[in-house]
Amino acid sequence: MKQQRDSIPELVWNGNISVEVHQKENSLTYLANLPRHSYFAQILEDLKQLFAPKAALEECWLSSGKASIKWHWPVGVLYDLLSLKDPESTTALPVLWHLDFHVGSFPSSLVVPMGSMETFRSCFFNALKESDYVRNGSSSLVIALSKPETDSYWNSLLNHDFYDYRPIATKLFASKSRIIPLKFYLGADAPIVQTSASLGYTLGHVLHKQLPEFFPSDVSCSLLKPVLQGIVLPLSISTDLMNRDFCYPDGFLHIVLIPISIQG
Protein backbone atom coordinates (compact mmCIF):
# COMPACT_ATOMS: atom_id res chain seq x y z
CA MET A 1 0.00 0.00 0.00
CA LYS A 2 1.35 3.42 -0.95
CA GLN A 3 2.54 5.37 2.07
CA GLN A 4 1.10 8.77 2.84
CA ARG A 5 3.13 11.46 1.11
CA ASP A 6 5.73 13.19 3.26
CA SER A 7 4.66 16.56 4.59
CA ILE A 8 6.53 19.59 3.34
CA PRO A 9 8.39 20.09 6.63
CA GLU A 10 9.61 16.49 6.38
CA LEU A 11 10.72 16.98 2.77
CA VAL A 12 12.57 20.13 3.79
CA TRP A 13 14.15 18.28 6.71
CA ASN A 14 15.30 15.48 4.39
CA GLY A 15 17.00 17.85 1.96
CA ASN A 16 20.68 17.08 1.82
CA ILE A 17 23.86 18.07 0.00
CA SER A 18 26.46 15.59 -1.26
CA VAL A 19 29.95 16.78 -0.36
CA GLU A 20 33.37 15.62 -1.34
CA VAL A 21 36.31 16.84 0.74
CA HIS A 22 39.97 16.69 -0.26
CA GLN A 23 43.19 17.89 1.23
CA LYS A 24 46.11 19.07 -0.88
CA GLU A 25 48.72 16.37 -1.38
CA ASN A 26 46.56 13.83 0.38
CA SER A 27 44.99 11.01 -1.59
CA LEU A 28 42.18 10.45 0.90
CA THR A 29 38.65 11.65 0.18
CA TYR A 30 35.79 12.31 2.56
CA LEU A 31 32.35 11.76 1.06
CA ALA A 32 29.05 12.40 2.79
CA ASN A 33 25.45 13.40 2.29
CA LEU A 34 25.02 16.23 4.74
CA PRO A 35 21.55 17.37 5.73
CA ARG A 36 20.81 20.99 4.88
CA HIS A 37 19.67 21.15 8.50
CA SER A 38 23.05 20.32 9.96
CA TYR A 39 26.36 22.02 10.57
CA PHE A 40 29.92 21.38 9.39
CA ALA A 41 30.91 21.55 13.07
CA GLN A 42 29.24 18.14 13.39
CA ILE A 43 31.78 16.54 11.01
CA LEU A 44 34.86 18.47 12.13
CA GLU A 45 36.07 15.66 14.36
CA ASP A 46 35.63 13.06 11.58
CA LEU A 47 37.44 15.25 9.06
CA LYS A 48 40.33 15.75 11.44
CA GLN A 49 40.56 12.03 12.16
CA LEU A 50 40.74 11.30 8.45
CA PHE A 51 43.04 14.03 7.19
CA ALA A 52 45.11 15.19 10.16
CA PRO A 53 44.66 13.03 13.25
CA LYS A 54 47.43 14.83 15.15
CA ALA A 55 46.21 18.37 14.44
CA ALA A 56 44.32 20.55 16.92
CA LEU A 57 40.64 21.05 16.10
CA GLU A 58 41.06 24.84 16.29
CA GLU A 59 43.62 24.72 13.49
CA CYS A 60 41.31 22.97 11.02
CA TRP A 61 39.11 24.66 8.46
CA LEU A 62 37.28 24.08 5.18
CA SER A 63 37.00 26.09 2.02
CA SER A 64 34.72 26.10 -1.01
CA GLY A 65 36.75 27.69 -3.78
CA LYS A 66 38.05 30.94 -2.29
CA ALA A 67 35.39 31.13 0.41
CA SER A 68 35.99 29.73 3.88
CA ILE A 69 33.29 27.67 5.54
CA LYS A 70 31.70 28.82 8.79
CA TRP A 71 31.37 25.94 11.23
CA HIS A 72 28.28 27.44 12.82
CA TRP A 73 26.19 28.28 9.74
CA PRO A 74 23.74 25.63 8.49
CA VAL A 75 25.03 23.47 5.62
CA GLY A 76 22.00 24.38 3.49
CA VAL A 77 22.64 28.12 3.84
CA LEU A 78 26.32 27.76 2.98
CA TYR A 79 25.46 25.68 -0.09
CA ASP A 80 22.86 28.16 -1.35
CA LEU A 81 25.36 30.97 -0.83
CA LEU A 82 28.64 29.46 -2.03
CA SER A 83 27.87 26.81 -4.61
CA LEU A 84 27.24 29.45 -7.31
CA LYS A 85 24.54 27.21 -8.70
CA ASP A 86 21.19 28.56 -9.81
CA PRO A 87 18.44 26.14 -8.69
CA GLU A 88 16.46 27.10 -11.79
CA SER A 89 19.32 26.42 -14.17
CA THR A 90 18.39 24.18 -17.08
CA THR A 91 21.72 22.37 -16.85
CA ALA A 92 20.54 20.22 -13.97
CA LEU A 93 23.80 18.59 -12.96
CA PRO A 94 23.81 16.29 -9.93
CA VAL A 95 24.83 18.18 -6.81
CA LEU A 96 28.36 17.39 -5.60
CA TRP A 97 29.99 20.11 -3.59
CA HIS A 98 33.79 20.08 -3.63
CA LEU A 99 35.47 21.33 -0.49
CA ASP A 100 39.08 21.54 0.64
CA PHE A 101 40.35 20.73 4.12
CA HIS A 102 43.18 22.81 5.62
CA VAL A 103 45.30 22.76 8.74
CA GLY A 104 47.04 25.90 9.90
CA SER A 105 46.86 29.54 8.73
CA PHE A 106 43.39 29.58 10.26
CA PRO A 107 41.44 32.48 8.71
CA SER A 108 40.37 33.88 12.07
CA SER A 109 38.97 37.08 10.61
CA LEU A 110 36.49 34.99 8.64
CA VAL A 111 35.85 31.81 10.61
CA VAL A 112 35.00 31.37 14.26
CA PRO A 113 36.90 28.34 15.64
CA MET A 114 34.70 25.57 17.04
CA GLY A 115 37.16 23.78 19.26
CA SER A 116 34.60 21.51 20.88
CA MET A 117 31.02 20.28 20.63
CA GLU A 118 30.30 22.28 23.80
CA THR A 119 31.27 25.49 22.01
CA PHE A 120 29.14 24.54 19.05
CA ARG A 121 26.17 23.56 21.23
CA SER A 122 26.34 26.89 23.03
CA CYS A 123 26.55 28.72 19.71
CA PHE A 124 23.54 26.85 18.34
CA PHE A 125 21.33 27.47 21.35
CA ASN A 126 22.26 31.15 21.43
CA ALA A 127 21.21 31.48 17.80
CA LEU A 128 17.94 29.75 18.73
CA LYS A 129 17.47 32.21 21.62
CA GLU A 130 18.14 35.10 19.27
CA SER A 131 15.41 34.00 16.85
CA ASP A 132 13.11 33.30 19.79
CA TYR A 133 13.73 36.86 20.98
CA VAL A 134 12.49 38.23 17.66
CA ARG A 135 9.30 36.16 17.82
CA ASN A 136 8.54 36.69 21.48
CA GLY A 137 10.35 39.81 22.72
CA SER A 138 12.57 37.68 24.96
CA SER A 139 14.06 34.19 24.70
CA SER A 140 11.27 32.89 26.90
CA LEU A 141 10.23 29.84 24.89
CA VAL A 142 13.74 28.43 24.62
CA ILE A 143 14.41 29.08 28.29
CA ALA A 144 11.09 27.44 29.19
CA LEU A 145 12.05 24.19 27.44
CA SER A 146 12.52 21.40 29.96
CA LYS A 147 15.90 19.70 30.12
CA PRO A 148 14.54 16.58 28.33
CA GLU A 149 13.07 18.83 25.60
CA THR A 150 16.35 20.74 25.19
CA ASP A 151 18.33 17.50 25.00
CA SER A 152 15.80 16.04 22.58
CA TYR A 153 16.08 19.08 20.31
CA TRP A 154 19.87 18.94 20.40
CA ASN A 155 19.90 15.20 19.73
CA SER A 156 17.43 15.60 16.88
CA LEU A 157 20.03 17.84 15.24
CA LEU A 158 22.92 15.43 15.91
CA ASN A 159 20.98 12.32 14.89
CA HIS A 160 18.97 14.09 12.22
CA ASP A 161 15.68 12.83 13.61
CA PHE A 162 12.59 14.56 12.27
CA TYR A 163 10.18 13.11 14.82
CA ASP A 164 12.17 14.42 17.77
CA TYR A 165 12.71 17.74 16.01
CA ARG A 166 9.32 18.68 14.63
CA PRO A 167 7.09 18.91 17.75
CA ILE A 168 9.57 21.16 19.56
CA ALA A 169 10.26 23.27 16.48
CA THR A 170 6.53 23.77 15.92
CA LYS A 171 6.18 24.98 19.50
CA LEU A 172 9.19 27.31 19.28
CA PHE A 173 8.39 28.88 15.91
CA ALA A 174 4.66 29.49 16.38
CA SER A 175 5.04 33.27 16.98
CA LYS A 176 2.03 34.61 18.88
CA SER A 177 3.44 38.09 18.23
CA ARG A 178 3.14 37.38 14.49
CA ILE A 179 6.69 38.63 13.99
CA ILE A 180 9.31 36.36 12.40
CA PRO A 181 13.10 36.71 11.96
CA LEU A 182 14.79 36.69 8.55
CA LYS A 183 18.36 36.93 7.30
CA PHE A 184 18.94 37.98 3.71
CA TYR A 185 22.33 37.09 2.22
CA LEU A 186 23.44 39.40 -0.58
CA GLY A 187 26.40 37.27 -1.68
CA ALA A 188 29.44 35.42 -0.36
CA ASP A 189 31.42 38.58 0.48
CA ALA A 190 28.41 40.85 0.69
CA PRO A 191 26.41 42.07 3.69
CA ILE A 192 23.77 40.09 5.53
CA VAL A 193 20.61 42.07 6.11
CA GLN A 194 18.90 40.82 9.26
CA THR A 195 15.34 41.91 9.76
CA SER A 196 11.93 40.90 10.99
CA ALA A 197 8.58 40.76 9.25
CA SER A 198 4.93 40.18 10.10
CA LEU A 199 2.87 37.16 9.30
CA GLY A 200 0.15 37.89 6.76
CA TYR A 201 2.33 39.45 4.09
CA THR A 202 4.00 38.16 0.96
CA LEU A 203 7.74 37.68 0.59
CA GLY A 204 7.61 40.24 -2.23
CA HIS A 205 6.15 42.81 0.13
CA VAL A 206 8.91 42.17 2.70
CA LEU A 207 11.71 42.32 0.09
CA HIS A 208 10.31 45.49 -1.46
CA LYS A 209 10.09 47.12 1.96
CA GLN A 210 13.51 46.01 3.28
CA LEU A 211 15.57 46.09 0.08
CA PRO A 212 13.80 48.52 -2.28
CA GLU A 213 16.89 49.08 -4.46
CA PHE A 214 17.02 45.36 -5.23
CA PHE A 215 13.26 44.85 -5.31
CA PRO A 216 11.57 47.91 -6.82
CA SER A 217 8.50 45.75 -7.34
CA ASP A 218 6.82 43.49 -4.79
CA VAL A 219 5.47 41.15 -7.45
CA SER A 220 8.36 40.52 -9.83
CA CYS A 221 12.13 40.13 -9.65
CA SER A 222 14.27 42.46 -11.73
CA LEU A 223 17.77 41.96 -10.29
CA LEU A 224 17.84 39.26 -7.63
CA LYS A 225 15.66 36.32 -6.73
CA PRO A 226 15.20 34.68 -3.32
CA VAL A 227 16.46 31.15 -2.56
CA LEU A 228 15.35 29.40 0.63
CA GLN A 229 16.19 25.75 1.36
CA GLY A 230 17.57 25.49 -2.17
CA ILE A 231 14.27 26.55 -3.75
CA VAL A 232 13.67 29.75 -5.71
CA LEU A 233 10.63 31.17 -3.95
CA PRO A 234 7.81 32.97 -5.74
CA LEU A 235 7.37 36.49 -4.40
CA SER A 236 3.74 35.63 -3.72
CA ILE A 237 4.58 33.14 -0.97
CA SER A 238 3.24 34.18 2.43
CA THR A 239 5.38 34.77 5.50
CA ASP A 240 3.01 32.37 7.31
CA LEU A 241 3.92 29.49 5.00
CA MET A 242 7.62 30.29 5.14
CA ASN A 243 7.57 30.39 8.93
CA ARG A 244 5.54 27.21 9.26
CA ASP A 245 7.48 24.99 6.84
CA PHE A 246 10.86 26.47 5.89
CA CYS A 247 12.67 27.58 9.04
CA TYR A 248 16.09 26.21 9.82
CA PRO A 249 16.56 24.53 13.24
CA ASP A 250 17.98 27.78 14.68
CA GLY A 251 14.61 29.41 14.04
CA PHE A 252 15.73 31.75 11.28
CA LEU A 253 14.59 32.00 7.68
CA HIS A 254 17.96 32.17 5.89
CA ILE A 255 17.24 33.53 2.41
CA VAL A 256 20.03 33.85 -0.15
CA LEU A 257 19.52 36.39 -2.91
CA ILE A 258 21.05 35.38 -6.23
CA PRO A 259 21.08 37.17 -9.60
CA ILE A 260 18.07 36.38 -11.77
CA SER A 261 18.85 34.14 -14.71
CA ILE A 262 19.07 35.79 -18.09
CA GLN A 263 17.58 33.37 -20.58
CA GLY A 264 19.26 33.43 -24.01
Partner 1 sequence: MASSSNAVEDRLSKKLESLHTGEETNHLQEKVNEIISSYNEKENRKVNLRFKAIGRTPLLRKNVFAINASHRFDKVIRFLKKELSLQPDSSLLLYVNYCFAPAPDEIIGNLYDNFSIDGYLLIYYCVNVAFG
Q: List contacts with partner 1 (CB under 8 A).
A: 70, 72, 110, 112, 122-123, 125-127, 129-130, 132-134, 138-139, 143, 181, 186-187, 190-196, 213-214, 223-224, 259-260, 262-264
Spell 185-212 as b/e; 16+ CB within 10 A means b: bbeeeeeeeeeebebeebbbbbbbebbe
What distance in Å separates the CA atoms of residue 60 and residue 44, rounded to the nearest whole number?
A: 8
- Helix H or strand E segment including 209: helix 203-210
Asked whether the beta carbons of 28 and 50 are under 8 A apart, the reply is yes
Least distance in angstroms from the C-beta of 238 to partner 1: 22
154 exposed, middle or buried (CB, 10 Å; 0-12, 13-18, 19+)? middle
Least distance in angstroms from the C-beta of 178 to partner 1: 16
Least distance in angstroms from the C-beta of 257 to partner 1: 9
Least distance in angstroms from the C-beta of 34 to partner 1: 20
- Minimum CB distance to partner 1 smaller for 8 or for 84: 84
- Minimum CB distance to partner 1 smaller for 99 or for 221: 221
What distance in Å separates the CA atoms of residue 70 and residue 7, rounded to the nearest whole number?
A: 30
- Minimum CB distance to partner 1 smaller for 32 or for 211: 211
- Minimum CB distance to partner 1 smaller for 3 or for 263: 263
DSSP state for residue 14 in the 8-state scheme: T
Least distance in angstroms from the C-beta of 212 to partner 1: 10
- Minimum CB distance to partner 1 smaller for 96 or for 110: 110
CA dihedral angle for residue 229, residue 235, residue 238, residue 239, rounded to 10 degrees: 60
